[in-house]
Structure 1
């Protein structure tokens, strides 16, 4: 369940407060005072007897029992009674049409698991939504609802707040009250029972009053739903999140480097980044981010200009900008000339710009206008300390006036941030009115700008189009799976080195030749073949019980003959047998030695997280991989763009470029190897953990020198379509198929992929302007990246699109899409075929396909809007069984509806 009936919390038609109150009398009195001050709805008091505010006494009704309430008189129920009364109350509430119940308390209140389960069971027949127990309540100030037991009452505004902790909620509301920040909705989750963070993000994403969403959480119960909701929301509005509980996280496993290095919080960081969420570390940073992102929305933000009335202030700001990875804007020569008369004596004009201490508001205004006019700037930081010559209030008014003037000009929006250093209290009035974030130090002001940079970067990551995978990448998943199933069938939880090499080879990950032998004599014999082409060999100890060979000195390098191989193997066998008698060797591995002094040792791995499932790990490889800890994480599925970004988040990435006469390494090959690793996690969920250490990047390519695989029964997360180990829905390859049209023409159809932008652009260029207008309800001339990314970058958890491809040429012939609502009850369709292919039955075949998909995915109803002049589409809809009606909003538009669940079997 997602957003169904959530409006019962935020726009209830009627409210009931139910006792008997087990809390202090002040709890009920506080709640009623809040309701009386906000809600215009009738309020029923059941089995509870607090004093009601006299000014609103006409809105209160008393009842001895809940059964005395009539149908429709308790849209929202706030339960203050005993916990054991809750299941019966929820069932009775559902019977009279209640949509939402808050199990309220003045502080966190944990109920037994069995009681919480009984509450859920009671809520299901009528889909009553539950928040709590231990919730401070909910509020929607814009709708006149305040059922919160919080210290401060929230004002109306455009920020949604979702908090697990009552202390965090109270602190945020107190900060908001002092900074003139208002809320579209406030939710105290308490002990999560039914409604979770994913549900609420989905609700506020679709709420026109909400401009940004602020979340506090400790954990996630439904990772796929949470990430799907967050990604959908982050495309249209900022989502800022603070997570507590890192100190209580469970540590990883000890079976692989990946398991040991992949901490729970690092995985959360990767998941939140993937969802486009701006994560903050503490309450101060959260408040900064909220103020910045609710006041400024800058789609492209990277380069900052700084103007200050003190050189040291500007230096502190630019130093901090560099620390945080920001970028100073490089001004044009024209701008520098314009700034020259304004710069302080003996200070060069440019960025940062230092003004004189005696300069008045006019000079600052000219500087601000010049810096904002430069095309190289995305934002401007205005820093000022109090002087004897210009009052702080005048500086604040000057900045506010410049911001107001800039807002009225045409062109790209730019950020203006104020830093009024050393002032307490800050002169906020004019700046708040102009929606300019203001901070008390250069560091805070720079961090404020970096929130904009990170938010814009998250948007770019969500919208980026990856390059296409090589056409010759066709992994042999069946062969790899057979190896894994055979090992599991034998009762093993690891693969031996030869099996591991074969699995990697099945996914075209280069592996050095590997032989697993039983003893020293076999090692000598195996090495003979390698010495024909190599100068040296390597012998390694192999024991599943001793997974880290470096810990037991289990590797011998630089062996120059079969005899040296035998001697080294005998030494390893004897020594490890003596030091670890309870964990004997299971064999020895013999390999030719890679001799490349300029090779870069990389680490690639898979870890298993109990919440988000498989995690791809990349970093600096070698025996010190855990000591250097130069790693970055990402959730599968990966594409080449995500893999490239993963590489860039490590320090070792710098060694992949050319330097000091050394040629660049195959960075694209490394990215492809990470995509292949991601595909292994998707195809073979029984591979729980995997180490490739090292994967050496040489001048000629890549080669894995050592690898380890851990097997097991994966934890599968329930979803609409069965179960999956992945938190992000992967490419649904099972829907690839060939359709045969009415004239026998065969067309290949597959789900749309993010790298299909070029395919769509070429397709639209072959569609007539009239057909484009009928499809998009307006002329379309610009097939921009932004336009195309909306069509090609799908969250398969809630949307599907199929592209019809001509097998011979690879050209796109048509497409059909279906986007489900958050409740996954209805889906909106759209279909288009190339203009020169009308009448061949492709549109009909694509519509039948999307109906089959909707039925398989559990979507109950397909809807669409069609211009009435599009008679061909309306005729096809009628033939397929759609009902056709006129849109109440536009008589030129027809609404078409198909109840998929009511179709007889076989009609699709």
Structure 2
């Protein structure tokens, strides 16, 4: 389940408290007092056989004696009573419950079940949603609902707060009340036995009373559901998160460098970034970030212009900016000239701009106007310390009209307390973000940059893999199947390199030697020095046991090195089986950088891709970044950019830049391998040499296990839906939409007649904006599907022409999916619409969707006829211009 019946949890019209009490400081008494004191307008009922009335409210002895089924039941009775209560409530027609009681998973029930399992078994067939157990409850101030045992009511507002920590829930409520911050919903989720973070994100994403969503998360269950919900929510409104637990704890048992480097917190960071959300460190940051995102409307760059009336304040702000990874903007000669005409000789016209502690109001206005007019000003940090010369309130009144209308982002800091309180108030009233310290202002700036980078990633339509890349999946599966049949989890180095070669990743030539004499024979076949390594499935890190010898100049040296390795392994690791040696030529790539790329499996989010500085000291250097697959070239480039080694790859001194395209393509190929091979658990390429010539994998390690097809947090491109068919004299390709199809869509919609555009979008539309095209092409394949029909066309720049498209977007419960379809105007009437609509019907039915629905303009006679021919029921009874088409999709229907 997802959002089904959540409206009864968060906006009920009646509430019953099961376990109401008069005992002071008990949960039952506290919740009853909160329900009665919150201002809830609907009926409030109480259940407890010990009482006839409490606080003027009638009390009923049992659930079945309630005068009417409540929308919401709040339960605070002992664990053993809860399954039966849920069953009785569900039978009465209640569809939502909050279980405040703790310990359900640890309390035994009947037939070997725990109470929590029995509770869920009673709830599911009755479609009754449960928040908790072990939670504080729910507050929805807009309807006066306080169904919690929190110590205070929440103020009404537009923020939704969702927390996995009960203690933090009450602490944040106290803090927010002191700050005057209000909420649409204030939710403690507890153990998330049923309703979880993903469900609430789905509901709040479309809640008109919620402008932003704040999360406190300790752990995630159901990564794919969470990622789909988070990405959908973040497209609609800001989602800001605190994720507790920053210490890596999942890598101790890893058999690869990649597994050891990819800590759990890194993976959460990658997931938050990929979902378009913003992560912050503290509760105060949480609310600061929301206020900032709501107020900052201009465009921000990662460089900033600082203007201040004090040199010390300018230095503090500069320090915070640089330490946080930002930059000072370079002022142009023209801007410096204008400032020089305004400022006295004692002031600084360079960035940071110090206008002087004795500056009159006119100087503030003129300096700010010059900086705001300058094209190099993308972000302005205004920092003011109070002086006795001019009151801060008067300065604020004069400059705020400029700051509030600025085309760039503006962050204001009024240092001090009472002397600047009016200036701060005026700034807030003018919609200018204001902060108490330069550090807080800079941090807010960094939050905006991070949030917009993550949002931009959601809206990117980057290129996919080159069409020439066709991996050899058959040989890869053969290698993996053979290893698993032999009960081996670690592929040999030659096997691992064969897998890489099957995916077009260049590797150094490698031969297998059975013994030291074979080593000598094979070494003689290579020109120049060789490297030898032990071949053993019992030893993962060969260099750690002296199992690697490099730069062996002669075959004899290679044989002697092999003999020494054999002795060392027998003496120090007698339990390890030595299967031979690998022999390969030394890769002479002077100046090449050693990188590490690979795959690890996170216990929550599944496979993650890692990139960083490689070599034997990879763990010590710890320069790495991780990302969730699937990747495309744009996302791969972003992954590389988050490492320190990226600066070296860009070239330095006489060292030319490395082939970044080759590095990005390697990461995308590994991402494709992850998508194609559900048996893949860990993969290391360390080192991957990178220079201007390209990349070369010197060593590889792959760990496999029986397949887990649903392990990926983000569903990859569904290649299995691609098909080619003959249609109307064309060789037609029908496939799922890809992020790089934006150009196809632009061309397609440009070719539609104004009438067809009106039929498709119910409005006069000339050209769709990038944001809307990105939303149509960069889809979440787990929740929606778009299919495009393409044919070869030499006259088209992309050598392909798009003839039609169809899409179906399912609701979070997968009950209703809304479809839309369009066919190029000049080929309508030839059956393509029927083909596309039939494909989306089959897809939706196979996905388990209950029904397909669509709205069609009454005047769109062809579309109405097509829907009717495909089995849709047409509801045209009203006088509306729009008719509704519905197709039930139960198995065997239609």
Q: TM-score, normalised by structure 1?
A: 0.92
Structure 1 equivalent of residue 665 of structure 2 = 672
Structure 1 equivalent of residue 838 of structure 2 = 848
Q: Does 1:898 align with 2:892?
A: no
Distance 2:877 2:205 in 1: 25
Out of 708, 727, 730, which is 2:713 matched to? 727
- SS of 1:159's equivalent in the other structure is strand
* Structure 1 residues 47 and 433, CA gap change in structure 2 (3 angstroms): farther
Report the alpha carbon displacement of residue 99 of structure 1 after superposing the two structures with TM. Answer: 1.8
Report the alpha carbon displacement of residue 332 of structure 1 after superposing the two structures with TM. Answer: 5.9
Deviations 1:639-669 (A, max 9, x none): 1111111111111112222333333221111
Do the aligned partners of 2:215 and 2:241 also contact (CA within 8 Å) in 1?
A: yes
Report the alpha carbon displacement of residue 86 of structure 1 after superposing the two structures with TM. Answer: 1.1
* Structure 1 residues 887 and 12, CA gap change in structure 2 (3 angstroms): farther
Do the aligned partners of 1:228 and 1:797 also contact (CA within 8 Å) in 2?
A: yes
Deviations 1:588-625 (A, max 9, x none): 11001111221111111111111111111111111111
Structure 1 equivalent of residue 775 of structure 2 = 790
Do the aligned partners of 2:690 and 2:696 also contact (CA within 8 Å) in 1?
A: yes
1:355-504 counterparts in 2 under 5 A?
A: 355-361=355-361, 363-394=363-394, 406=405, 414-423=408-417, 427=421, 428-504=424-500
Structure 1 equivalent of residue 80 of structure 2 = 84
Deviations 1:288-342 (A, max 9, x none): 2233234445565544333222122122212211222224445566655554455
Report the alpha carbon displacement of residue 166 of structure 1 after superposing the two structures with TM. Answer: 1.8
Do the aligned partners of 1:399 and 1:431 also contact (CA within 8 Å) in 2?
A: no
Distance 1:757 1:660 in 2: 40
Structure 2 equivalent of residue 867 of structure 1 = 857
Distance 1:258 1:523 in 2: 30
Do the aligned partners of 1:757 and 1:789 also contact (CA within 8 Å) in 2?
A: yes
Out of 506, 513, 527, which is 1:510 matched to? 506
Deviations 1:488-527 (A, max 9, x none): 1011111112111111111011111111221011111222
* Structure 1 residues 24 and 517, CA gap change in structure 2 (3 angstroms): farther
Do the aligned partners of 1:32 and 1:52 also contact (CA within 8 Å) in 2?
A: no
* Structure 1 residues 4 and 363, CA gap change in structure 2 (3 angstroms): farther
Distance 1:5 1:602 in 2: 51
Q: Structure 1: 5+ residue runs without aligned partners?
A: 717-722
Q: Does 1:527 align with 2:527?
A: no
* Structure 1 residues 708 and 807, CA gap change in structure 2 (3 angstroms): same
Distance 1:126 1:750 in 2: 39
Structure 2 equivalent of residue 720 of structure 1 = none
Structure 1 equivalent of residue 867 of structure 2 = 877
* Structure 1 residues 81 and 367, CA gap change in structure 2 (3 angstroms): farther
Distance 1:382 1:109 in 2: 54
Q: Does 1:567 align with 2:553?
A: no
- SS of 1:85's equivalent in the other structure is helix
Report the alpha carbon displacement of residue 167 of structure 1 after superposing the two structures with TM. Answer: 2.2
Do the aligned partners of 1:813 and 1:833 also contact (CA within 8 Å) in 2?
A: yes
CA RMSD of aligned residues (A): 2.6
Distance 2:521 2:150 in 1: 77
Farther off after superposition, 519-528 or 365-374? 365-374
Distance 1:174 1:759 in 2: 53
Distance 1:96 1:294 in 2: 44
Distance 1:814 1:557 in 2: 58
Farther off after superposition, 187-196 or 312-321? 312-321
Structure 1 equivalent of residue 134 of structure 2 = 134
Structure 2 equivalent of residue 67 of structure 1 = 64
Structure 2 equivalent of residue 773 of structure 1 = 758
Structure 1 equivalent of residue 225 of structure 2 = 225
Deviations 1:108-154 (A, max 9, x none): 99754811111111111121111112211101212332223223321
Q: Does 1:751 align with 2:736?
A: yes
Structure 1 equivalent of residue 547 of structure 2 = 554
Distance 2:420 2:197 in 1: 35
Distance 2:262 2:892 in 1: 48
Q: TM-score, normalised by structure 2?
A: 0.94
Do the aligned partners of 1:29 and 1:51 also contact (CA within 8 Å) in 2?
A: no
Do the aligned partners of 2:216 and 2:243 also contact (CA within 8 Å) in 1?
A: yes
Do the aligned partners of 1:476 and 1:506 also contact (CA within 8 Å) in 2?
A: yes
Q: Structure 2: 5+ residue runs without aligned partners?
A: 109-113, 794-798
Q: Does 1:240 align with 2:237?
A: no
Structure 2 equivalent of residue 38 of structure 1 = 39
Structure 2 equivalent of residue 591 of structure 1 = 584
Report the alpha carbon displacement of residue 266 of structure 1 after superposing the two structures with TM. Answer: 1.2
